[in-house]
Amino acid sequence: MALTSVPFAIFAIITGILYFAFPKREYRWVILLISGCFFYVYNSFQYTAFILITILTIYLAANRMAAITADTKAAVKAHKADWSKEERKAFKEASGKKRKRILAAALILNFGILFLLKYFNFLSGSVAQILGSDPEAAPQIHLLLPLGISFYTFIATGYLIDVYRETAEPEKNIFKFALFVSFFPQIIQGPISNYGKLRDQLITPHDLDWMNLKHGIMIICWGLFKKIVIADRVWVAIRAYYDNGGIDGNADAAGYGGVMVVFITLMYALQLYADFSGGIDISRGICRVLGIELEMNFRQPYFSKSISEYWRRWHITLGAWMKNYVFYPIAMSDMSKKISGSIAKSSFGQTAAGKHLSRVLTTAIASFIVFLLVGIWHGANSKYIAFGVWNGLIIMISAMAGPLYEKSRNALHIRAEAAWWKLFQMLRTFLIVLVGYVFDIADNFSNAMRMMGLALTDHSLGAFRSQLGTLGLGKTEYLSVIACTLILLYMSIRLEKTALDTPADLLERRSGVIQWLALFALIMMILILGTYGPAFDPAEFIYMQF
């Protein structure tokens, strides 16, 4: 039941009707829970046990940790008079260790499941290859990935760490916690919601509100426009490129040159953004109708002026998760402090470069690790690891070479606020992003390198023009992609300038007639230009596979 399918639309509408019509307002959240369970079982029946294990173990672990915390506080309070400071400290440390053990056990179990299902086969094959044996003969787990496992594992473990850090209260009601983990609009491809931001919204009853309904429908339509008008159309060309051997060893037979590599990479950038952000818009739109505000996951990422900014605008909730639960623990760890301290104390640490390095080295290393994990999160393949390493390296180098970069800019008398400079920064960042995407497009690391080599050396425009027809799109379809991309670009510029969240917010400033016409035009574009019906084989949302 894909987000863009008719059955899903019917399911979402029925859920909405039942939710708003349910007479006992305080139990409306139960409708969402039942819908979530139905959706999961319907789509991933044979893997339901995995999400149940996650719900159960995280729920129990969080409550056990909270109970230990409460018991510790009560004991400390009760023994305030008869315990010495050392005794109190020792007792607290012992409790802390217990909590840490519970946290570790729950994290190992849940990430272990994720690892086994998602990465074991890749790792087993790689190890076999390194040891010189046949990777295909290596032990394999023959299971598909449970729906949304990367997303719900991160959502649930994020909550657990928050409870461990005591920044979130543990959920006492297991059904309410199950709702948080299995909430159907976000289970397919995120966003990776934060418990503190979502919990109350899910439990609090909402009534049908005209503005929410109108905005929600507009956001859903905008998401559909991005997904089925742009992303799925462009996917036809990308798939044809794949099928014609553009990404593998048969590339010579296909005869695609460097210009085609650049073109497909641009198409991929468009498709990936339209696909993922379109799906998120559909989820957010459904939630808006229900009166629930999901976290923003994209903020015009291709307008970023640096790679670190790009990752603050692209898949924002994954970035936030990584920052909270991976980056900070590494950057703030005793080991990091020690490394920074030892550099600062050394003779090199007394120089300007040394001082800078002592400040940024550990954060740069933490960033690198984060992006390595981001790459691995995307999938079990050397190309995703290369994608993560590429992004991590760029961020690491940028952080370490920051002063040099500033000096060069000053020496060239370039104003940081100059429009052309900002545009240059955007284009430069986009180019770096595109290089990362080549790893994504290719079927493995070596082919990614081959494609990049082609892009740098083969610039035959004539061959490219004659090969455009092999990508499965006709002239009208190319024109429709161009026109719709321009609409997307225009809306992105408007949103960037106004700092608003969605096109629905932009339209809210216009008259009712304009809003009506815009919605009508948007729906007509989806109906006419959308890739649906028996003539098409719809592409699944790319991020579903992660």
Q: Is 253 in the site for other proteins (CB under 8 A)?
A: no
The token pair that represents 466 in the structure block: 């004659």
Q: Smallest distance, Å, CB 271 to other proteins? A: 18
By CB under 8 A, which span of 187-195, 315-323, 426-434, 476-484 interacts with other proteins?
Answer: 476-484
Q: Is 534 in the site for other proteins (CB under 8 A)?
A: yes
The token pair that represents 128 in the structure block: 């076999």
Contact 296, 316 (CB under 8 A): yes
| Helical residues (DSSP H) of 140-250, grouped into ranges | 149-164, 174-182, 184-187, 195-203, 210-224, 232-243
Q: Smallest distance, Å, CB 219 to other proteins? A: 16
Which residue in the block uniquely carries the two structure tokens 């083969």?
458
Side-chain-side CA neighbours of residue 117 (13 Å): 21
By CB under 8 A, which span of 56-64, 184-192, 271-279, 519-527 interacts with other proteins?
Answer: 519-527
Q: Is 519 in the site for other proteins (CB under 8 A)?
A: yes
Taking the least distance from each CB to other proteins, the nearer of 249 and 469 is 469
Which residue in the block uniquely carries the two structure tokens 């096109």?
503
Those residues whose C-beta lies under 8 Å from the C-beta of residue 267, and which sit 6 or more positions away, are 234, 237, 238
Applying CB under 8 A, what is the total number of residues that bind other proteins?
19
Position among 156, 530, 539, 541 found at the interface with other proteins (CB under 8 A): 530
Taking the least distance from each CB to other proteins, the nearer of 132 and 534 is 534
**CA-based nearest residue to 254, from 470, 95, 102, 417:** 470
Amino acid at site 343: I
Question: Three-state SS for 298?
Answer: strand
Q: Smallest distance, Å, CB 531 to other proteins? A: 8
Spatial distance between the Cα atoms of 313 and 115, rounded to a whole number of angstroms: 27
Taking the least distance from each CB to other proteins, the nearer of 233 and 284 is 233
Those residues whose C-beta lies under 8 Å from the C-beta of residue 337, and which sit 6 or more positions away, are 362
By CB under 8 A, which span of 53-61, 243-251, 454-462, 524-532 interacts with other proteins?
Answer: 524-532
Side-chain-side CA neighbours of residue 209 (13 Å): 14
Those residues whose C-beta lies under 8 Å from the C-beta of residue 530, and which sit 6 or more positions away, are 224, 228, 229, 232
Position among 480, 522, 542, 546 found at the interface with other proteins (CB under 8 A): 480
Q: Is 49 in the site for other proteins (CB under 8 A)?
A: no
Position among 68, 242, 523, 538 found at the interface with other proteins (CB under 8 A): 523
| Helical residues (DSSP H) of 165-209, grouped into ranges | 174-182, 184-187, 195-203
Q: Is 4 in the site for other proteins (CB under 8 A)?
A: no
Q: Is 435 in the site for other proteins (CB under 8 A)?
A: no
By CB under 8 A, which span of 135-143, 324-332, 445-453, 518-526 interacts with other proteins?
Answer: 518-526
Q: Smallest distance, Å, CB 473 to other proteins? A: 11
By CB under 8 A, which span of 86-94, 148-156, 196-204, 516-524 interacts with other proteins?
Answer: 516-524
Per-residue contact string for residues 179-218; x = within reach of other proteins by CB under 8 A: -------------------------------x--------
Q: Is 520 in the site for other proteins (CB under 8 A)?
A: yes
Spatial distance between the Cα atoms of 219 and 281, rounded to a whole number of angstroms: 6
The token pair that represents 400 in the structure block: 């370490």
Q: Is 503 in the site for other proteins (CB under 8 A)?
A: no
Amino acid at site 395: I
Q: Is 514 in the site for other proteins (CB under 8 A)?
A: no
Q: Which residues bind other proteins (CB under 8 A)?
A: 210, 476-477, 480, 512, 516, 519-520, 523-524, 527-535
